[in-house]
Structure 1
Amino acid sequence: MSTITFGITHSTLDTKGKLHSKKINECQRCKVVTDSFRHWLEETSRGKHEGGDAAWEEAKLKSYARSEMRLVEIQENLCSELKNHQDDCYSLSEEAESLLENWWFHEYQNNLDLYTWLCIENLQYCCPKNHYGESCTLCPHIKNNKICGGNGKCDGEGTRKGDGHCICKRGFTGIDCEECSYNFYNASNESCKPCHKACDGCQGDGVETCVKCAAGWTMNSGKCVDNNECLDLSLCKSNEYCINKEGTFACKLCDKTCKSCEGPGPSSCSSCSPDHVLWIGKCLDVKIQRDLLINCSMRIASYLCLVILVMFLYRKSKSLASLTVLIISLLIYYSETTSEKNVRQFAHILRIKSKVC
């Protein structure tokens, strides 16, 4: 049979539409191609071709399943379904086009696995499982049929790269990955678990098993307890307040109305800027304070006059005095609520003006 040239061209996306993916090695490229080929092998497994040449194909090549027509259909769609590594797939499929044809016409019928035949035996980009390096050497660290104790992988395993040493999972160390890393402990199910964050080395779970304490923690009665760094007032700036956290701390800015503070919000001020005065944890504008004092003095003077008036009326008529007290009480209530509302509005106006200025 003569060699068939398909001459398939693949369009590529422009720079904006091109998919970005991590660079992969030769073995991974080959696996991408064989996986895509297997995908389209399944997509085209319909038994016969619904077209004008189907009868000719089945008569000449006995079945569509292993026909040239099916191979052409697979080749035309190869790599098109991929979202990642599509360019790698296209380039390698073109390089290995004659090998793919050879496998299709001569090896597929013998049920030879495409990945094994193409990637391991012919292109020699990959190695069988548990093998590594140029000669596909068996990984050396195998115990009880487990590579690296089941807690790692053989360097270069499955590829023609690497030196076969164990690359351990997080928490494991040693030549065979059978020991726990520092700050991990050996759990009952033969796994290594991380120590409590309070520990700098441990013998088990919890703060009671710490060998010594991590930074930000102190040993107390056999266990590590969190340090309250915020007791040191010099840690944060004058316009910041301290928040204690497990093993550490954080400095946060005070409210913009405060010069210094003891916590978040405008009600935690401990000192104010020169144009503000401290009042029950809040920094009030000096103008607001002055108006409050003037307003308060005027109201007190008015209330004293009203008290004198009631005392005078009481001597004349108790009923008239009682009615007067009721009216005065309503007036005082209205005056106080209105005054509070006006102060709030005035303060709001001053804040707006200060922002504009």
Structure 2
Amino acid sequence: MIRSNSIFLLSSIILFLPLGSVYTKDFNALCSTCRQLVDKFDKGLEKTAKQNFGGGNTEWEERKLSKYELSEIRLTEILEGLCDSSSFECNHMLEENEEHFETWWFKRKTKHPDLFKWFCIETIKVCCPKGLFGLDCNTCIGGADKPCHGNGKCDGDGTRSGNGKCSCDKGYEGEFCLDCSDGYFSALRNDTFSLCKECHESCDGCTGGTNQDCKECRNGWEKDPEGACIAAGFSLEATFTECFCPINLRTSPSDINECTKDPATCKDNQYCLNTDGSFSCKECDIRCSGCKGPGASYCLTCADGFKDEESTCTDINECTEDPALCKDNQYCLNTDGSFYCKECDTRCSGCKGPGASNCLTCADGYKDEEGTCTEENKEVPAFDSEDSQTGDSPEKHEDL
């Protein structure tokens, strides 16, 4: 009697609970299952492309193949190979949506060749297009083309779940992943792009990538007369307890200068720092290809992307080179020792920078209004009426 009453009570509670509290869909898992189904379907298409044909009457084969290509037999063969018997999620989704696969196969395939988009995004609505998230497929911070401005991961990206918040990559922080973390500096930044690079190992905060750009020196480093952070005790006069010794000299009668050994004690892109009774190997400046001490003035030769100017390696601005290094519909961004080619705004036909205000000329469908390319016709085309049979397409949201 107690068991019967308990079951009745539990049934009553479930009956009056809101539907969402009884079962909440795991859209991450559903989207993953849907993607796997579509991937398996695509492999099935490849596997059955010319199955059971080859060698014989070519004309007869072509006739038979054209019939088999769009046949229910082929569809059945593909569907039977989609799920492992042990995969409950896959088999459950296939069983619930087999009619949708048949609809796509016989009625939609020609006009909607992207099965993932038609089935997972627009029909059963368990996924979103890349760069969108949540139940309504909202646009990720930074825009669908570059979620989190290319410097992080958007929570729920491509699924009907998540909150769209950015988890920034190493070196980046902030809501939009445009700010540089401690130990990094901004090599390049505008409203939609940020490039953060790591500070020199000697720096405690910096404005650039060398030991001359430090805000403060880290413990074990100190500023030389020119303001560069060098290893504590580094001196050509040997007036400190830790010295950088000229070749074949020692700091004291008892000290062995390991920096004079042949072959060299340190690796190719390091310099040797002799100390009393020992030594250490320090990384060369990023502007150097081999060095004999710290900073860009001690380089043996300059690294790629840098040139020698008055015995100091300085950055080469590749963006000023002729002919241009980037393609026609790209613009060049110079960085310390390198450069980037970035795609022009879709409203541009050629550009000199980001956004629609840096277009050389406007792309088809856009016109120049006070130096900015804008749409000639702002009417939004209606969605394909065929798709209204299986649900509305995801709502379009403006980029943040």
- TM-score range (shorter-chain normalised) is 0.3 to 0.5
Looking at both structures, which has the greater relative contact order when contacts are Cα pairs under 8 Å and sequence separation is at least 6?
A: 2
Report which of the two has the higher share of strand: 2
Q: TM-score, normalized by length of structure 2?
A: 0.42
Larger radius of gyration: 1
